């Protein structure tokens, strides 16, 4: 490609969590010029006085060069249309896309559209998922709505809103923060009233650091946070929705055979894809141990693997971060070990594995 892919951020959050207020704040940020904001319906989002003109084809131009557009049919069509506009000069520049979901939306289909479409992956890259959580009603929302739990579980950034209304109940906010950390220990938590909720705090959470143009694996994975969260979670989780979510890491020092890794990923996503909320990692492959491969998937859909030019830091282990729902960690650990944990002299029959994933040599109940 002649240009770098355009970063895409997903803004989600349950009904009443302050998502629209945050969106309006972002649209006033001069650093978000040349950004397209995709929303479901203009009438559903109270975007304020920044609107200056609405064209006939569902695109609204904002001050400072921002664009807003509704989802015209499929999200894929809307994203493709933005690229067409850019290529023919109807848009002068496009530096970022922000997709706002409805309050009841599962963010997974949006992630699939960005990561799984063969044309879109050439033009866009997923920067991250931002979720808003209401500090006043967040506990009750998580108790009663599994959709809200899933939104938090897949997020890269959690923005806690309405904390100014809970000043007299600091312990309530602290309890909510701890719960969010157990659900998703790797997500950075921000307060909507803090300066950190601006552009730098919310965005630029993808693999590549935009300032240096190099990969920052440690920041992107935050693998140590997931390990700590999984170690402590079972002592605290009492809520039935929360208890379905697990976040953990898989590590391996020895270089992994590419075919073994491919079979592990293929079997995991084909047999357990709906339970695999998100997975990302860096892998040391035996064909070129000095150039790791980056993986990123949401349920059954995986972004095409990418080779890095070299290891960005001194940690040269394979590290895979998984966020799952209703998926036994022990199953994943044993499956991973069966494929990549030690040298193999045989190749499992694929059809047999699909019928019975536990029928792997050395992998039994």
Per-residue model confidence (pLDDT) at position 352: 47
Query: Taking the domains of the chain in order of start, what are their residue ranges?
Result: 6-206, 233-355
Confidence band for 79, pLDDT divided at 50, 70 and 90? confident
Averaged confidence pLDDT in the chain: 78
Q: What is the mean pLDDT of residues 106-128?
A: 86
Spell out the CATH class of 6-206. alpha beta
pLDDT for 3 equals 66
pLDDT of residue 206: 77
pLDDT of 162:
86
> Would you say residue 59 has pLDDT above 60?
no
pTM: 0.80
* pLDDT digits 0-9 by tens, 191-227: 887 645 556 678 877 777 666 667 777 777 777 777 6
> In this prediction, what percent of the chain has a pLDDT beyond 70?
75
pLDDT band for 260, please (50, 70, 90 cuts): very high
Taking residues 275-300, report their average pLDDT: 94
User: Which of 31-35, 257-261, 302-306, 340-344 bottoms out in mean pLDDT, i.e. has the lowest?
Assistant: 340-344
Confidence band of 20 (pLDDT split at 50, 70, 90): confident
Least confident segment among 178-182, 233-237, 273-277: 233-237
Once rounded to an integer, what is the mean pLDDT over residues 59-73?
48
pLDDT of 200: 62
Q: What is the 3-state secondary structure (H, E, C) of the chain?
A: CCCCCEEEEEEEECCCCCHHHHHHHHHCCHHHCCEEEEECCHHHCCCCCCEEEECCCCEEEEHHHCEEEECCCCHHHHHHHHHHHHHCCCCCCCCEEEEECCCCCCCHHHHHHHHHCCCHHHHEEEEEEEEEEECCCHHHHHHHCHHHHHHHHCCCEEEEECHHHHHHHHHHHHHHHHHHHHHCCCCEEEECCCHHHCHHHHCCCCCEECCCCEECHHHHHCHHHHHHHHHHHCCCCCCCCHHHEEEEEEEECCCECHHHHHHHHHHHHHHHHHHEEEEEEEECECCCCCCCEEEEEECCEECCCEECCCCCCCCCCEEEEEEEECCCHHHHHHHHHHHHCCCCCCCCCHHHHHHCCCCECCECC
Average pLDDT over residues 4-30: 84
pLDDT, position 199: 61
CATH superfamily of this structure's domain 233-355: CobW-like, C-terminal domain (3.30.1220.10)
């Amino acid at each position: 490609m002649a240009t770098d892919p355009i970063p895409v951020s997903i803004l989600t959050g349950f009904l009443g969590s302050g998502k629209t207020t945050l969106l309006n704040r972002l649209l006033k940020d001069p650093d978000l010029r040349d950004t397209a904001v995709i929303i479901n319906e203009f009438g559903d989002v109270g975007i304020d006085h920044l609107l200056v003109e609405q064209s006939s084809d569902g695109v609204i131009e904002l001050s400072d060069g921002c664009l807003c557009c509704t989802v015209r049919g499929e999200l894929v069509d809307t994203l493709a249309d933005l690229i067409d506009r850019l290529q023919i000069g109807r848009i002068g520049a496009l530096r970022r896309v922000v997709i706002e979901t409805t309050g009841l939306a599962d963010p997974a289909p949006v992630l699939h559209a960005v990561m799984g479409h063969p044309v879109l992956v050439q033009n866009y890259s997923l920067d991250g998922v931002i979720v808003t959580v209401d500090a006043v009603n967040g506990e009750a929302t998580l108790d009663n709505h599994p959709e809200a739990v899933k939104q938090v579980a897949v997020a890269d950034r959690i923005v806690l809103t309405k904390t100014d209304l809970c000043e007299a109940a600091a312990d309530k906010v602290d309890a909510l923060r701890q719960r969010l950390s157990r659900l998703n220990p790797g997500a950075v938590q921000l307060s909507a009233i803090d300066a950190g909720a601006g552009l730098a705090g919310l965005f630029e959470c993808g693999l590549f650091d935009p300032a240096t143009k190099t990969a920052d694996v440690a920041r992107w994975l935050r693998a140590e946070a997931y390990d700590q969260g999984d170690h402590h979670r079972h002592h605290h989780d009492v809520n039935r929705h929360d208890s379905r979510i697990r976040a953990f890491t898989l590590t391996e020092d020895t270089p992994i055979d590419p075919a073994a890794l491919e079979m592990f990923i293929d079997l995991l996503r084909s047999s357990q894809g709906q339970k695999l909320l998100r997975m990302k990692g860096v892998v040391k492959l035996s064909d070129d141990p000095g150039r790791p491969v980056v993986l990123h998937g949401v349920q059954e859909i995986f972004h095409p693997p990418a080779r890095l030019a070299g290891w960005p830091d001194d940690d040269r282990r394979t590290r895979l971060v998984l966020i799952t729902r209703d998926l036994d960690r022990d199953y994943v650990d044993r499956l991973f070990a069966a494929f990549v944990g030690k040298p193999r002299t045989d190749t499992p029959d694929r059809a047999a594995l699909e019928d019975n994933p536990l029928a792997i040599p050395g992998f039994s109940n």
